Structure 1
Amino acid sequence: MIRLQSLTYAYRKGAPVIDGLTVDLPSDRRLAILGAQQSGKTTLVQLLAGLITPSSGSIERLARLSFPAGYQRGFRMASTLGQNITFAAKIYGADADEVIGFVADVTGLGAMVDRPLRDLSVQDRMNTSFALTYALPFDTYLFDNTFTVGEPDFRAKCLAMFEARSRTSGMIVATKFARTASQFCDCALVLIKGQATYYDNVAQGVAAYEQSLPVAQPKPAAEAPTGA
């Protein structure tokens, strides 16, 4: 369980992005955080992960939450790939050798373990960060807009890891896509103008979210050409 009490977050001199949110969120289910662009999805994920501090209110985490999948700010570019993975494993109480083996197997970067992280391509670093997320043991995994990255084969691996982890852990997926929520989640928190409503049934949450979206305006008909 994750308990949010009067949770508010506002950027400097701005209106609250999250405004007085009080709700209990399940930590053992597949929860979609549904919201349009700039509705506060990323902000809420960062608050849950402890990457930013609420302007007011509180978060009580009765489960072990991950960092957002793909998070790289903790990486040290001058350290080797293996050193970075070992550091993360120690922080989260995992066996370093097992985590290195998992990441190397998933990414195919075993030959790069002793190379500085800066020697890896941008895509390889991204693949590493996602593989590392899935390699570490958490009660609940956090995803900000995506849980797969890269080329089709690696995306397929991410999806398989997502499914495997969700059998024993909770998932919180922030997305603006109703289809993603319907396909991968079973409950939803819908964000609309700084306010949020929890739905124990994802279909109900998706319906409420879709009703909140602006109706697309029809394109104007092309003008008929005028004669000379």
Structure 2
Amino acid sequence: MSHQQLAALDVVVGYTRGARVLDGASLTVPEGRRLALLGANGSGKTTLLRCLSGALAPTKGRITVDGATLQHTRKGLQAHRQEVQLVLQDPDDQLFSASVAQDVSFGPMNLGLPEPEVRARVAEALDLLAVTHLAARPTHQLSYGERKRVAIAGAVAMRPCVLLLDEPTAGLDPSAVTEALAALTRLQASGSTVVMSTHDVDLALGWADEVAVVVDGTVTQGAPDVVLGDDALLARARLDRPWTLTLGARLQALGLLPPGPLPRDTDALLAALPAPAEASAGAGAKEAIHPPSAATRGVELPLPGPSGGGR
């Protein structure tokens, strides 16, 4: 899979008798990297993903791949869907074949590929998503997390340059989230650009190379710690500040973290903290400058006399 740049330029989408969902939204998907798309319910995240995938034609603006505008013709869309694949939030909207292997093979077969090539793609996709052991399993017997990964495998079998995932971790327990993120890491390592929409700001901060926030019909895009550290933007988007940034900023203020970019996940935060010996030495130094008061040492202070004066 070769890397190609997917972009939305000044996209406008408005549904009948409603306000514009997207109103001049622009987004550049960085080639070969991980992009998290955030926003409140109804902000337009899914609409933007549908535009990027070719499933929805914008009212105004355009979708481009390496600068070439997507043409919403049969030929144009067929070519686009070999480069860009969208996986919907609910896997049951995509799974319909009797078995996992049959479902994953559907896309490559529709391309008219020879059977050996189809088999190779199916095996590759199942391996990347760690669901090879489910190949013969009926799709209706899968857990929700397994169905999510099989739905992604069906898109991966098309060998797209860009994989768009609408809330791939929604509804999953922590173990299944870990498995899904590990699968996405393998996909990126194999040559795919991965875009994931999510409400989880902490997940986005730790996982993504770049983040984009959809709010008021437009998109703000940039480095995760910069965009997700913008309290005014997060308030407009009805998103919480990631707890790692909140805690990291507080620890910096207390002198327990060095100045500079804040850690983006728990492991990085713990690694940045001083060792216990250093922390103790620092505390001792502070005590030498500001010794604890008698009250903090448990010594009972004398009460003032009747005149209200001290000793």
2:131 corresponds to: 106
Which of 157, 160, 168 is the matching residue for 2:182? 160
Secondary structure of 1:28's counterpart equals coil
Where structure 1 has 5 or more consecutive residues not aligned to the other structure, the ranges are 217-228
C-alpha distance in structure 1 between counterparts of 2:170 and 2:42, whole Å: 21
Pick 1 or 2: higher relative contact order, CA cutoff 8 A, min separation 6: 1
Query: What is the TM-score of this pair, normalised by structure 2?
Result: 0.57
Query: What is the TM-score of this pair, normalised by structure 1?
Result: 0.74
Q: Spell out, residue by residue over 1:171-191, the C-alpha distance to the aligned partner (whole angstroms, 9 max, x if none).
A: 111122211211110112221
2:236 corresponds to: 212
C-alpha distance in structure 2 between counterparts of 1:147 and 1:73, whole Å: 16
C-alpha distance in structure 2 between counterparts of 1:133 and 1:95, whole Å: 15
What residue identity is the alignment partner of 1:174? S
What residue identity is the alignment partner of 2:109? K
2:46 corresponds to: 42
Aligned-residue sequence identity (percent) comes to 22
| TM superposition shift of 1:108 | 2.8
Secondary structure of 1:138's counterpart equals coil
What residue identity is the alignment partner of 1:106? V
> Judging changes above 3 Å, is the alpha-carbon distance between structure 1 residues 44 and 86 closer, same or farther for their aligned structure 2 residues?
same
Alignment check: 8 A CA contact 1:106 1:157 kept? no
Alignment check: 8 A CA contact 1:68 1:143 kept? yes
Q: Which has the higher helix share?
A: 2
Q: Spell out, residue by residue over 1:34-66, the C-alpha distance to the aligned partner (whole angstroms, 9 max, x if none).
A: 212211111111111122221222111238222
| TM superposition shift of 1:143 | 1.4
1:219 corresponds to: none
1:226 corresponds to: none
C-alpha distance in structure 2 between counterparts of 1:8 and 1:131, whole Å: 31
What residue identity is the alignment partner of 1:89? P
More moved, 29-38 vs 154-163:
154-163
Q: How does 1:21-32 map to 2 (within 5 A)?
A: 21-32=25-36
2:285 corresponds to: none
| TM superposition shift of 1:153 | 5.9
Alignment check: 8 A CA contact 1:181 1:206 kept? no
Alignment check: 8 A CA contact 2:40 2:238 kept? no
2:259 corresponds to: none
Q: How does 1:56-67 map to 2 (within 5 A)?
A: 56-62=60-66, 64-67=83-86
Rg comparison, structure with higher value: 2
Secondary structure of 1:207's counterpart equals coil
Secondary structure of 1:198's counterpart equals strand
Secondary structure of 1:54's counterpart equals coil
Secondary structure of 1:42's counterpart equals helix
Q: Spell out, residue by residue over 1:129-161, the C-alpha distance to the aligned partner (whole angstroms, 9 max, x if none).
A: 133334442222111122577566654443222
1:196 corresponds to: 219
Q: Does 1:174 align with 2:197?
A: yes
Secondary structure of 2:86's counterpart equals strand
1:223 corresponds to: none
> Judging changes above 3 Å, is the alpha-carbon distance between structure 1 residues 36 and 158 closer, same or farther for their aligned structure 2 residues?
same
> Judging changes above 3 Å, is the alpha-carbon distance between structure 1 residues 25 and 103 closer, same or farther for their aligned structure 2 residues?
closer
Q: Which has the higher strand share?
A: 1
C-alpha distance in structure 1 between counterparts of 2:180 and 2:171, whole Å: 8
C-alpha distance in structure 2 between counterparts of 1:215 and 1:25, whole Å: 22
Q: Does 1:9 align with 2:28?
A: no
| TM superposition shift of 1:75 | 4.6
